[in-house]
Structure 1
Amino acid sequence: MAIAVPKIVQSLCYCSPSPSPSSCPYLIPSRHAPPMPIWSNFTNSRGSRRRGLHKFQRAAKYVRFEVSPAEEESQPDKKGDDSSDEMADDSVLPPNMEGAVLQSSQSSAKFIFAGGMRAIVELLLPELEFLNDEGSQEDLWQLARLYLESLRKETGVQQLKAIFPDAGAAALLKHWWKDANFSFASLSDRRPVEEEDEIVVMIAPDYQMLQSVEQIASFLSDDSPRPLVMWNPRLFSGDVGVGLNVRRLRQSFLSTFTVVYSIRPFPNGAVFRRYPGLWQVFLDDKERPGRYLLAREQPRRPNADELEIIFVGEKIDGEEEKPSFFAEAKSLFNSFNRFMRSLSK
């Protein structure tokens, strides 16, 4: 019996969904205290502990989907079984959100060392999609800084340019991150890229600035080509009011980029790619709650039909009733929330 896949599962694109363009999602509210170095613990003026990247450091790979107490008690004691963990299918997955960012910087550096010029890094996690939510912007900028610092270390370059989607956010972060070892610019700057820039990273470029993104990419491809990385691009907005020709031009432009890192959770699995490796599709391990089994590897991103066969096909046997669209959508949303809660605690 065929089971339909929710539209949200079928929406496999290069970018995260975009927030509403009605308000600028990139300006950090003034009520937020200035971001501090993400690797340190610190206190604010009132002596309370500020939130840094330590909130992402909880090892969560094996508990990202919640496990009930009964399931935990039923699992055998695996202490001292580190060798089996290292050989497990899901050992390639990051242990937490910070680990995913560090993995993505390593993959970006390998791609650049191999002569690659245009790269995309995708962290397709719900918490990083809704930038209008309180705290989400700060989380995004903290993770972006970790990526930038790590990429500079991995590549050894002296001039790394970070281009932010909004001039206000770029100015504030430059003011607050005085010790940053990379330079700042925004997509709205008259000249965001300088001749001395060795690597350029666009942080969450928005679909409304696609023309500026294309111009910068073209400039970097001139006589002295330099690598360009789009980190968590948001170049799709549901295509409402966007003509077919525009969509084709955008897709043609994005096809010149290589996805060097991508991680995306689903209700009963995950899709993962880490350059130079293949695209991998993982399924929940029914015998080990919270763990994954490798279901497929292939050189290109799996499409919706392939994911339907892998994710939904596994459920056909033994199912008495086809779940409704709303039940599937709710299950997907709840799984995303469980995934993010385990990563961000």
Structure 2
Amino acid sequence: MASSFPNPSFPHCSFLISNSTSSTHFPLSYPPTSLTVFPQISSTKNGSVSKIHGKFEKFQGETPQDDVLDANPSSSLQQQLSQEVEEDDSCLPSDLEGAVRQSGEAAGLFVSSGGARAIVELLIPQLQFLDDEGAQAELWELSRVFLESLIEETNCEKVKAVFPDAGAAALLEYRWKDASFKISSLSDRKPVDIADEIVVMVVPDYQMLENVQKIAAALSDDPPRPLIMWNPRLISEDVGVGFNVRKLRRYFLSTFTTVYSMRPLPSGAVFRAYPGLWKVFYDDKDRPGRYLLAKELISRPDAGDLEIIFGNVADSDQDPSFLDKAAGVLSSLTRFMKAISK
């Protein structure tokens, strides 16, 4: 059964909601990566990025070698020709804010096509450790970038952002008086209203999993409304969590579709932006900061898939440094599989 918008109850959005669920599985934990994130957030809203620039240059805090060519007038023809060629990594964002905006666009496309439950994950170390000084403030600012991008993509005027605690929600509501979305917290008596047409849970954690499930169930009622979880942390590695609880949690997360995923690896990256396929990249040894496409997949690659992909790349590359990096990837994936099998 599907419900189309707009209708008398939801006049502000134009999309179709389907009750069907996806079999995409959300990973239970992630291995640490060696990526360093540049902390500054640009105020530019729609800046274009040249394809010859190094990918994730602001993540790594390095100046791409191609920028040196920009200062040489004799290279202008070479630059023009390079820009006309579709690069393997042209789909990848060039900085953190670009990734967040791209994730908002992907989520908006998913909702507009009838999707009901979505997950957006930016598996970047700086966004994974909220206890670090200044990390939460930056995370909230990035969440606003996502929300504004989502609203721009869907043209929806009634978006509700649900934050993990009342303190953060109250502070942001005070600071963001000009926000085009409403704010609540998971600990509120009624975090979601009937008037809310798209609900975004910002970094929901495992301690509030029961509240998250209740909200998801309420949004599934007629008329169904989209629910997006932005960088959820619903998995706890506590030994005391029973098998049945873990099983129910896995089933709940399996009803969501991962519409955007950015996961850097020591020698590459795993990437997906709806409606595109999952893509596995490896470092381009001839162009630092750039990636080459190793493989595209319909579903999220697991540890076995990545082991085969990076193993094949390593076999065709005799560079010892790449072999060392590939070994590091396989080692981290082994730890990852051990963690989720507990």
AA in 1 matched with 2:92: L
Paired residue for 2:55?
A: 61
Taking the aligned partners of 2:291 and 2:222, their CA distance within structure 1 comes to: 46
Q: Does 1:171 align with 2:170?
A: yes
Paired residue for 2:158?
A: 159
Taking the aligned partners of 1:83 and 1:240, their CA distance within structure 2 comes to: 56
Within 5 A, what are the aligned runs for 1:253-292?
253-292=252-291
Q: Does 1:84 align with 2:82?
A: yes
Change (3 A) 1:146 1:300: same
Paired residue for 1:190?
A: 189
Paired residue for 2:143?
A: 144
| CA drift at 1:162 | 0.3
| CA drift at 1:17 | 6.1
Paired residue for 1:119?
A: 118
Of all paired residues, the percent bearing the same amino acid is 54
AA in 1 matched with 2:82: S
| CA drift at 1:311 | 2.4
Paired residue for 1:295?
A: 294
| Backbone CA RMSD of aligned residues | 3.4
TM-score, normalised by the number of residues in structure 1: 0.74
| CA drift at 1:124 | 0.7
Taking the aligned partners of 2:44 and 2:236, their CA distance within structure 1 comes to: 29
Report Cα offsets for 1:90-144 as digits up to 9, x if no partner: 0000111111111111111111111000011111110101100011111100000
Q: Does 1:231 align with 2:225?
A: no
Q: Does 1:207 align with 2:201?
A: no
SS in 2 for 1:92: coil
Paired residue for 1:135?
A: 134
AA in 2 matched with 1:176: R
| CA drift at 1:238 | 2.4
AA in 2 matched with 1:285: D
Paired residue for 1:328?
A: 328
| CA drift at 1:83 | 4.5
Task: Check whether the contact 2:271–2:280 (CA below 8 A) recurs between aligned residues.
Answer: yes
Taking the aligned partners of 1:134 and 1:72, their CA distance within structure 2 comes to: 32
Q: Does 1:314 align with 2:308?
A: no
SS in 1 for 2:89: helix
SS in 2 for 1:271: strand
Taking the aligned partners of 2:274 and 2:65, their CA distance within structure 1 comes to: 38
Paired residue for 2:9?
A: none
Taking the aligned partners of 2:75 and 2:235, their CA distance within structure 1 comes to: 44
SS in 1 for 2:119: strand
Taking the aligned partners of 2:278 and 2:233, their CA distance within structure 1 comes to: 21
| CA drift at 1:320 | 7.5
Change (3 A) 1:60 1:128: farther
Task: Check whether the contact 2:56–2:93 (CA below 8 A) recurs between aligned residues.
Answer: no
Report Cα offsets for 1:191-215 as digits up to 9, x if no partner: 1110100100000000111110000
SS in 1 for 2:229: strand
Paired residue for 2:12?
A: none
Taking the aligned partners of 1:320 and 1:93, their CA distance within structure 2 comes to: 26
| CA drift at 1:148 | 0.8
Taking the aligned partners of 2:86 and 2:76, their CA distance within structure 1 comes to: 15
AA in 2 matched with 1:136: A
Paired residue for 2:36?
A: none
* Greater RCO, CA 8 A, separation 6+: 1
AA in 1 matched with 2:300: R
Larger mean Cα displacement after TM superposition, 304-313 or 284-293: 304-313
In structure 2, stretches of 5+ residues that fail to align are 1-24, 32-39, 333-342
Change (3 A) 1:119 1:324: closer
Task: Check whether the contact 1:128–1:136 (CA below 8 A) recurs between aligned residues.
Answer: yes
| CA drift at 1:79 | 4.3
Taking the aligned partners of 1:155 and 1:305, their CA distance within structure 2 comes to: 37
SS in 2 for 1:91: coil
Taking the aligned partners of 2:271 and 2:292, their CA distance within structure 1 comes to: 12
SS in 1 for 2:149: helix
Change (3 A) 1:244 1:154: same
AA in 2 matched with 1:220: L
| CA drift at 1:84 | 2.8
